[in-house]
Structure 1
Amino acid sequence: MIGSDYTLELCNVFHSGQVEPGSFFQRLTGDVKTGVILKDVSFLTHSGEVTAILGSKGSGKRALLDVISRRVSSKGHILLEGEPLEEEYFRSTCALVRHSSKLLPGLSVQQTLALSLTKISGYLKSSKVKQVMADLALSQVAHKCVTSLTKSEYRRLVIGVQLIRDPIVLLLDEPTWDLDPLNTYLVVSILSNAAKKYGTTIILTMEKPRSDVFPFLDRVVYLCLGDVVYAGPTRNLLDYFASIGFPCPQLENPLMYYLCLSTVDRRSRERFIESNQQIAALVEKFKLEGQAVMQGQLAEHGRIINPNKIQLNYGKAGGFRTIWMLYLRMLASIFNVKSHGIKQMAMRLLTLPIYFFILWIFYNESKDYQRAFVTRSGLIFNAMVGTYFISIMNTICLFAPYRTRYYQESQEGLYSGASLLLAWNLVSLPFSLLTSFAATAIIYPIVGDLSDTLGYVYCALVLWSSYVYAEQQAIAIMMFVKNGLVAAVVNIYITCIYVMLASGVLRSYRGYEEWLYYLTYLTHTRYASLLLHRHVFAAPAYSALPYSERENCTGGGIHTANANAHANDNCRYSSGKSFLAERFTAKNFAGDIYQMGDFNMDFNLGISFAFSLGIIVLNKVLYLMPLPGYITDKFRE
């Protein structure tokens, strides 16, 4: 149990890692340039204090946060109240706020905090939400969408998502980056007040500290290329550097002055060598003289620990509650009158019916002549392929924010990918079912009898299975591919392959070699296309269709012998059965196609849903697999 006063201590921490960016293949093979990033880092901080880690770009600030949060391996000791701070211990008591943390775009400020994953709920959580909003000066924008917030408000909200969980140690990566002076002052002052109010240890990184934040920083740590130039109380900063011969000039910002003193000057070779030597001397002086100061601080802060403080809010929520909160997040993001909610609702419910309405415009005037075999087959093909592609487009646009948030929150151990996908499917499946039935109702009068309710249900269900299959395929690809355009291209390319192979429209099965024919059995498209074609062309209306309004295929009527001969030459299919046999049977097939299990509608519908269910289960397994760090880091950057 952590006491009300506690100490976080780093002792002789070393960390090695990648020091230069590498290509994808270099990172995949491990052939990247590595080196020592942190060298013998030691400092301590207490509860209720704000510690700033200062240094120029490449000094090791972010690496130090990763080491403290146990996201990378290191040598040395990191102790929280005398206990080794391991990864699970950090997750259960502490928090890290990345500079690029992304929140779900469809939620308001209050919803974002209320739907955060904590152990508390009900009145306690509602009170905590109001308290955190007041502490972070967010009460006046409580009902504002997160996408409409200013940079400062957004950063404060990201911090609030962690503060509502009452962490013991809160790490922040550049919380004031790209903020104007007034908002920089506001954010740092709010963090200082929160540290004092909640007794939280706050450690933040800053690259360009301003003088007006000096009073809010209890401690500072200066890093240069992984070495510690100074680590101690801010109030001792001026005296320490003055004692070693570097007093701060009057009217200078001491934080920035000593940061420049700790930065390698790369403007010329001479300055580079001179600044390197100076920094090496500063590091050695701190090792000799700074350690005594740190030991004095330990004695100064020795207190009796109160063992009765309990962190009620922090920790991992139960599995069922986590899935329920993820489900509520998605519903809240969809069912609102803000632009993001309207866009989500339109994409989920309207895009497929609109596409099918366009198909209806093109195919509604087609007549029941011989060319109906081609036009109806083309309609089926366009309906099925359009369902695949629209599902892919919707999934890439709508799933991406939840995927990014998952990769960030999973690092905190809050939930697994399987929980995210279960919540997503609970939301997505009813919407896709509704839009599939609505879209099918638009074109069904062209391909079937309106009185045949069962046939309509079969067609709608097989298109629903196509939508779900393509959606889950896109989710699987998005596990590895961050860029939406690249993910769309990969999905469409894969879809085109099995559509060209197994639809039976672009190429007849009879033209395939035996191995290609059997390969079609491994695709969802084969079963969906067979069901739709079987339902349409098995109808009696497709027997003995005339060639045109003036020519038939039977040799009867008012036509002359020459005209009839010409008509018979152009009437390729005597019935729907002959069309199906040509398009969907193997070479040298002879027999009644309706005796084949391949043309059984119940069988094809069942296999279509088996494919969809199978890829749903596969995705849950995939999202439970550990991924290389360079892949998951892409989604957190």
Structure 2
Amino acid sequence: MINADYTLELCNVFHTGVVEPGTCFQRMMGNVKTGIILKDVSLEVHGGEVLAVLGSKGSGKRALLEVVARRAQGPTRGQLLLNGAPMTLRLFQQSCGYVTHKCDLLPGLSVEQTLYHAAQLALGTKVSRHLKRSRVRQVMADLALSQVANRATEQLTQSEYRRLAIGVQLVRDPVILLLDEPTWDLDPLNTYLVVSILSNHARKYGRAVVLTMEKPRSDVFPFLDRVTYLCLGEVVYTGGTRLMLDYFRSIGFPCPELENPLMYYLCLSTVDRRSRERFIESNHQIAALVEKFKMEGGPFRKTSAILSGRTVVDPPDPLHAGGAIGSNKVPLSAFGRPGAFHVSLTLFLRSWATMFNLRAFGLMQISLRLLAHPFFHLLLWIFFRGMENYQRTFISRNGLIFNCLAGSYFIPIITTVCIFPSHRTRYYQEAQEGLYSGPLFILSYLLFSLPFSLISMAAASRITFELTGLQDPVEWLKFGGILWACHLMAEQLTIALLMVVKSSFTAAVTSIYIHIVILLLGSGTLRSIRGLLEWLYYLTYATQSRYAGATLAQQMFDKRFVTLPKDAFHNCTSAFQGPSDLITGTSPSFGCRYADGNAFLIERYGREDADDSLTEFLDFNLNFGITFAFSVGFILFNCLLYVIPLPAAVKAKFRE
């Protein structure tokens, strides 16, 4: 367990990484330019202090945070210690927090719900539910969010959203909090508010805060206990903020009066690229400053907050008074993480909260999950309800099967690309914090969506089942079950695409194209299986629609619709010589194509080279089982896909 006097120390840290990322394809192929990003960086920060890492773009500020968080891609050498212990990924995830530059929170949740579910995911069962709720209220008060506790995340201002993202980490009570540009694009008032809140948090709870800033304002100077200037990965100065003035004055660079010292020395530590002469001159000057600090800066780097004119106070916390858990000495994060069942239940309840909240995102989910299928099948019922038992009913009912399959494939694609991406992005960000694994995320999402898809498909299939003419409720269960299996297949395939494709539109179009091919090739509705080329025929074995279409067609036509008339005025009885006409090529009179439903099935699914092929193809129980096997197989595939290590270039698209 970590002691109370928290100290983060970096000693002679070097890091090599990508300096020109290039395209996603180049990153995946490894054709990117790498170089040394951090060069001999040494610094430290203690509990109760705020350390600001300053530098221009490309100076290595974010890389420094990534190295501390153990997320940096590429070799790192040097010592990185937390209270003298090596900073491992596990130690950072257990005891520290990292607020990235871009943090995506789930829409539909209120501020209080977002923080409470974050506490449920991060804090173990030893921390009571009452204490978690108290911690949430305390964090909202510290971040000035109490007045918007019931406001949805998508309705927050930029400043409120940024503070809520910080609160998601603070609710865990991390001993070290890293923040990448927390004041980016904020106005001066909100910049002052955010930095003052972070300073108050560090002093009140004795935690260390490390933040990066590109354009520090003078009004945040009093809140920064330490400052580190980076230029091209090298340290120009690190140490107490107030002693910074004495140091630069002693080496001949006093800060002019009425100047912002933070910006003045930031400009001093930045390469001037306005001309070749200035570039060379500023480069030599910065190199000299770096060497000067290496020789004389040791005492400044070791300076504590007290010596720099700031005393760290540790007042009693009324929230944690009288108990060991959650006291200032022992952070809440030190009492373990929740188990898999608790995390899965939290993910389920969080998804439930995003849906049933009467907000825009929740209403969209209700419409897509519960109402889209019934509405589509109602349209089918209106369009097909006039079917009469004439010869044309074979084609009409075949069209009904095709449309039922198409709706079962395309509607879940639209539903998934509208709802899943926000959960996926949040998963990628929380998985980096070690909160849960990919398979647990996929199974939790599936368990949440399954009941709604089942209810929706049961209602939808009941509408179109009335058009089949079947009366047995068991037949309705079979009919709806096949459509539900197709729904699950399309949903899981789209989730798999969204694993590696960031754009929802691209994933939707790709999934739709795949299912169009599956429908055309394997369903036997638009193109008969009997008429396919041999290699295409065997390719249909790899499509779910082959088995789903055959099952629905057999249910619809097998041993039904015998000797139907051409229309109300023409009878087809004398025109048929038997089902063998369709195999031998004998054609009945015009408009009298099918003697019965079995003749229609022979035309769609029979093989010219074998009379008994129809029996082999239309095995109802086998086709029914294989249809569901495709769905179960893709669920297992997604669980595997979300646990195997993917290239960092792919994952980074969702985490930046």
Q: Give the TM-score normalised by structure 2.
A: 0.92
- Asked if 1:581 is matched to 2:599, the reply is no
Structural mapping, 1:435-514, within 5 Å: 435-449=456-470, 451-514=471-534
Instruction: Structure 1: state its 5+ residue gaps.
Output: 557-564
> How far apart, in 2, do the equivalents of 1:632 and 1:592 lie?
48
Counterpart residue number, 1:552: 571
Structural mapping, 1:191-590, within 5 Å: 191-295=198-302, 309-314=329-334, 315-449=336-470, 451-538=471-558, 540=560, 542-555=561-574, 568-590=589-611
Counterpart residue number, 2:144: 137
Deviation of 1:311 (Å): 2.7
- Asked if 1:53 is matched to 2:14, the reply is no
Deviations 1:213-247 (A, max 9, x none): 10000000011111111101101111111111111
> How far apart, in 2, do the equivalents of 1:616 and 1:555 lie?
52
Please give the secondary structure, in 2, of the residue aligned with 1:429. Answer: helix
Deviates more, 1:366-375 or 1:3-12: 366-375
Q: Does the 8 A contact of 1:554 with 1:568 survive in 2?
A: no
Counterpart residue number, 2:316: none
Deviation of 1:182 (Å): 0.6
- Asked if 1:618 is matched to 2:637, the reply is yes
Alpha-carbon spacing, 1:22–1:193, altered in 2? closer, same or farther (3 Å): same
Deviations 1:180-219 (A, max 9, x none): 1111100000001111112111100011111111000000
Counterpart residue number, 1:163: 170
For 1:530, the aligned partner's letter is A
Deviations 1:130-181 (A, max 9, x none): 1111111111111110110111111111111111111111100111101111
> How far apart, in 1, do the equivalents of 2:128 and 2:528 lie?
60
> How far apart, in 2, do the equivalents of 1:412 and 1:398 lie?
23
Q: How high is the sequence identity, in percent, across the aligned residues?
A: 56
- Asked if 1:90 is matched to 2:105, the reply is no
Please give the secondary structure, in 1, of the residue aligned with 2:27. Answer: helix
Alpha-carbon spacing, 1:209–1:455, altered in 2? closer, same or farther (3 Å): same
For 1:247, the aligned partner's letter is P
CA RMSD of aligned residues (A): 2.1
Counterpart residue number, 1:630: 649
> How far apart, in 2, do the equivalents of 1:58 and 1:489 lie?
37
For 1:58, the aligned partner's letter is G
> How far apart, in 2, do the equivalents of 1:142 and 1:508 lie?
59
Please give the secondary structure, in 2, of the residue aligned with 1:333. Answer: helix
Please give the secondary structure, in 2, of the residue aligned with 1:317. Answer: coil
Counterpart residue number, 1:105: 107
> How far apart, in 2, do the equivalents of 1:319 and 1:470 lie?
27
Q: Does the 8 A contact of 2:142 with 2:197 survive in 1?
A: yes
Q: Does the 8 A contact of 1:504 with 1:529 survive in 2?
A: yes
Please give the secondary structure, in 1, of the residue aligned with 2:464. Answer: helix
Please give the secondary structure, in 1, of the residue aligned with 2:255. Answer: coil
For 1:513, the aligned partner's letter is L
For 1:273, the aligned partner's letter is I
Please give the secondary structure, in 2, of the residue aligned with 1:322. Answer: helix
Q: Does the 8 A contact of 2:47 with 2:207 survive in 1?
A: yes
> How far apart, in 1, do the equivalents of 2:514 and 2:469 lie?
31
Please give the secondary structure, in 1, of the residue aligned with 2:330. Answer: coil
Q: Does the 8 A contact of 1:551 with 1:567 survive in 2?
A: no
> How far apart, in 2, do the equivalents of 1:445 and 1:568 lie?
31
Please give the secondary structure, in 2, of the residue aligned with 1:570. Answer: coil
> How far apart, in 2, do the equivalents of 1:64 and 1:84 lie?
16
Deviations 1:500-544 (A, max 9, x none): 11010121111223333232222211111111111111253x211
Deviations 1:597-621 (A, max 9, x none): 5323332222211111111111111
For 1:7, the aligned partner's letter is T
Deviations 1:536-566 (A, max 9, x none): 11253x211111222221249xxxxxxxx99
Please give the secondary structure, in 2, of the residue aligned with 1:568. Answer: coil
* Alignment size in residue pairs: 622
For 1:277, the aligned partner's letter is H
Please give the secondary structure, in 1, of the residue aligned with 2:239. Answer: strand
Deviation of 1:81 (Å): 0.7
Q: Does the 8 A contact of 2:105 with 2:426 survive in 1?
A: yes
Counterpart residue number, 1:28: 28
> How far apart, in 1, do the equivalents of 2:453 and 2:566 lie?
39
Deviations 1:275-327 (A, max 9, x none): 212211211111122124335659979x9xx9994333354221111111111
For 1:198, the aligned partner's letter is Y
> How far apart, in 1, do the equivalents of 2:137 and 2:303 lie?
41
Of 184, 187, 191, 1:177 maps to 184
For 1:59, the aligned partner's letter is S
Alpha-carbon spacing, 1:98–1:487, altered in 2? closer, same or farther (3 Å): same
Deviates more, 1:581-590 or 1:187-196: 581-590
> How far apart, in 2, do the equivalents of 1:79 and 1:383 lie?
61
Counterpart residue number, 2:10: 10
Counterpart residue number, 1:562: none
For 1:274, the aligned partner's letter is E
Deviations 1:413-449 (A, max 9, x none): 1100111111111110000001111111221222233
Please give the secondary structure, in 2, of the residue aligned with 1:19. Answer: strand
Counterpart residue number, 1:64: 64
For 1:571, the aligned partner's letter is C
Deviations 1:567-592 (A, max 9, x none): 82321111110111111123322148
Q: Does the 8 A contact of 1:418 with 1:623 survive in 2?
A: yes
Q: Does the 8 A contact of 1:152 with 1:183 survive in 2?
A: yes
Deviations 1:250-269 (A, max 9, x none): 11111111111111122222
> How far apart, in 1, do the equivalents of 2:399 and 2:276 lie?
71
> How far apart, in 2, do the equivalents of 1:171 and 1:308 lie?
19
> How far apart, in 1, do the equivalents of 2:606 and 2:558 lie?
15
Please give the secondary structure, in 1, of the residue aligned with 2:500. Answer: coil
> How far apart, in 2, do the equivalents of 1:383 and 1:252 lie?
72
Deviation of 1:452 (Å): 2.1
For 1:33, the aligned partner's letter is K
> How far apart, in 1, do the equivalents of 2:379 and 2:222 lie?
65
> How far apart, in 2, do the equivalents of 1:634 and 1:520 lie?
35
Please give the secondary structure, in 2, of the residue aligned with 1:95. Answer: strand
> How far apart, in 2, do the equivalents of 1:21 and 1:140 lie?
42
Q: Does the 8 A contact of 2:240 with 2:300 survive in 1?
A: no
Deviates more, 1:321-330 or 1:280-289: 280-289
Alpha-carbon spacing, 1:398–1:292, altered in 2? closer, same or farther (3 Å): same
